[in-house]
Structure 1
Amino acid sequence: METEYAKPIQYYLVFDSDFLNMNQLLNKTLNINFIKYQCLNCGLDKKIYRQGYCKSCFFEIPQAADWIMKPELSKAHLDVEDRDLAFEKKVQLQPHIVYLANSSSVKVGVTRKGQVPTRWIDQGAHEAIEIVEVPNRYLAGITEVALKDYVSDKTNWRTMLKNEVEDENLVAWRDKLKTYIPEEAKPYFIDSNTETEIEFPVLQYPKKPKSLNIEKMQHYTGVLKGIKGQYLIFEDETVCNIRGNEGMYVSIEIS
């Protein structure tokens, strides 16, 4: 789903030639039916392996290379190719942000500057702050690795969806972590910003969220009660991770 920063966040489910504002569907019944697979790269009806790609595409295309999930492995700044140097330079050699986000607890993360605050919204964070802004993905990656010794780099999706999250002073966290930033990245430390607060369109949080596996179930019907992160939250406490189901071709009926 694409998002728009507003109070609350506006969510849009994008189709080939149209889009749907999901906020308008709160309290509506959705009927979701699995139709087929559709790899995000080749478009073929092949079983999805990871990240919305079939197995062959996942191990071939630059969009699924190891440096995507582990930015510290980036090498474009050294003019070293992994799978496609032109693509890697385009993505890696641009400003990146290392940030703190509070979704299930305080975590550290990396994103391209142009993905702020979209990345925070996708993670279901209700508050976030930038720590450093560096000129390439590698510097962001080694900074994240260094800070992972002192703060988590993972989100507990169940805690996030239950909204069992305490407010944190992210400015204080930022200042406390400054000393652990690698020397190469310290000149890029941001010391004059404030937290960004995020409000999600949720009418009812689940107490015991259960994940929808549409591939296995084939169809599901439920009343939409909220959207947080990239999750649809239903009245029966079923939750559907839209990002996690990329590559699944489905039909959605509204009643």
Structure 2
Amino acid sequence: MRVTADPQTHQVTYELPVGDTLLDMNTLIGQHISMTHSGVINCVHCGRKTKKSFNQGYCYPCLTSLAQCDSCIIKPEKCHYHEGTCREPEWGEQNCMSDHFVYLANTGNLKVGITRHVQDTVSSRWMDQGASQAMVMLRVPDRLTSGLVETLCKDFIADKTNWRTMLKGTPENQDLEAKKTELLQAIAPELDKLRQQKGLQAISEVNSECVQIAYPVEQYPEKIKSINLDKTPSFSGVLLGIKGQYLILDEDRVINMRKYAGYQLEVCTG
């Protein structure tokens, strides 16, 4: 689903691409919806039909050839562009050799992460992860450096979202400013070593405010039951909310829509 946030309230709006149409999902909350997977899956990059989707929407040839599907996308500290072995050097130049931000987020548990874009103060990555609070800590010059900094932080804080915890409700607010100070102090010795390697100006602290993000949810599930389109190609129910990339339905059901990118769906409302 495509996500945007109101620049003033930071309320998240969701749009689901269905064919050539963008379906406004926020307006469907509280309504009965049904979705049916036709059995057809198209690669989100090349469009070819595929029996199995990899890495949230790619066919196997794209999985093994695209830079955006390489393992270093999941583990940025293993970025190998500088070694001259990037699968697609032009893509790497555009996407990896540019400023990245290291951030803190509250997704039900406190986590550290990286993002390339912080537009209108709210990163789409924060919204995709269902963060209720987020704050930028550092700016670095490339993806590799962001991964190395994130690795330093992992000894003190998680780098993954617990999606079940995220879907349990709106977490208690945390003092991200204090957590940021605490974390930067903890990694200071190793961060200084990294600055000596990359250049003193390569890693800079960002003075930013904590962003509060609101999601369109009327009711959270008590006991989460995940819908798998490959096993249950058709489902229906009342849409109770959306958070992260998850639709929340009645009877404690949820479905991760990003997981099924490229799946041909028929969506009915009312």
1:42 maps to 2:50: no
Q: Check conservation: 1:79, 1:85, Cα contact below 8 A.
A: no
What residue is the counterpart of 1:96 in the other structure?
100
Post-superposition CA distance 1:9-56 (Å, at most 9, x none): 111112443312111001111111011111112312211122211222
1:92 maps to a residue whose letter is C
Alpha-carbon distance between aligned partners in 2 of 1:113 and 1:96, rounded to the nearest angstrom: 7
Q: Check conservation: 1:132, 1:189, Cα contact below 8 A.
A: yes
What residue is the counterpart of 1:73 in the other structure?
78
Give 1:95 shift. Answer: 1.0
1:70 maps to a residue whose letter is K
> Identity of counterpart residues, as a percentage?
35
1:57 maps to 2:72: no
Secondary structure at the counterpart of residue 53 of structure 1: coil
What residue is the counterpart of 1:235 in the other structure?
250
Secondary structure at the counterpart of residue 223 of structure 2: coil
Structure 1 residue corresponding to 2:212, chosen from 197, 208, 215:
197
What residue is the counterpart of 1:250 in the other structure?
265
1:253 maps to a residue whose letter is C
Q: Check conservation: 1:81, 1:88, Cα contact below 8 A.
A: no
What residue is the counterpart of 2:5 in the other structure?
5
Alpha-carbon distance between aligned partners in 2 of 1:114 and 1:107, rounded to the nearest angstrom: 17
Q: Check conservation: 2:136, 2:206, Cα contact below 8 A.
A: no
Post-superposition CA distance 1:144-181 (Å, at most 9, x none): 01100100011111111011622211101111111305
Alpha-carbon distance between aligned partners in 1 of 2:49 and 2:244, rounded to the nearest angstrom: 27
1:207 maps to 2:210: no
TM-score with structure 2 setting the length: 0.89
Structure 1 residue corresponding to 2:138, chosen from 132, 138, 151:
132
Unmatched 5+ stretches in structure 2: none
Alpha-carbon distance between aligned partners in 2 of 1:217 and 1:21, rounded to the nearest angstrom: 24
Secondary structure at the counterpart of residue 165 of structure 2: helix
Alpha-carbon distance between aligned partners in 2 of 1:200 and 1:113, rounded to the nearest angstrom: 20
Alpha-carbon distance between aligned partners in 2 of 1:12 and 1:224, rounded to the nearest angstrom: 14
Post-superposition CA distance 1:115-153 (Å, at most 9, x none): 642110110010000010111111101000110010001
Unmatched 5+ stretches in structure 1: none
1:103 maps to a residue whose letter is T
1:144 maps to 2:154: no
Post-superposition CA distance 1:197-238 (Å, at most 9, x none): 001000000011111101211100111000001111001111
What residue is the counterpart of 2:34 in the other structure?
31
Give 1:79 shift. Answer: 5.6
4+ runs deviating over 4 angstroms: none
Secondary structure at the counterpart of residue 150 of structure 1: coil
TM-score with structure 1 setting the length: 0.94
Question: CA separation of 1:151/1:169 partners in 2, compared to 1, >3 Å: closer, same or farther?
Answer: same
* Count of residues paired in the alignment: 254
Q: Which moved more, 1:6-15 or 1:230-239?
A: 6-15
Structure 2 residue corresponding to 1:106, chosen from 96, 107, 110:
110
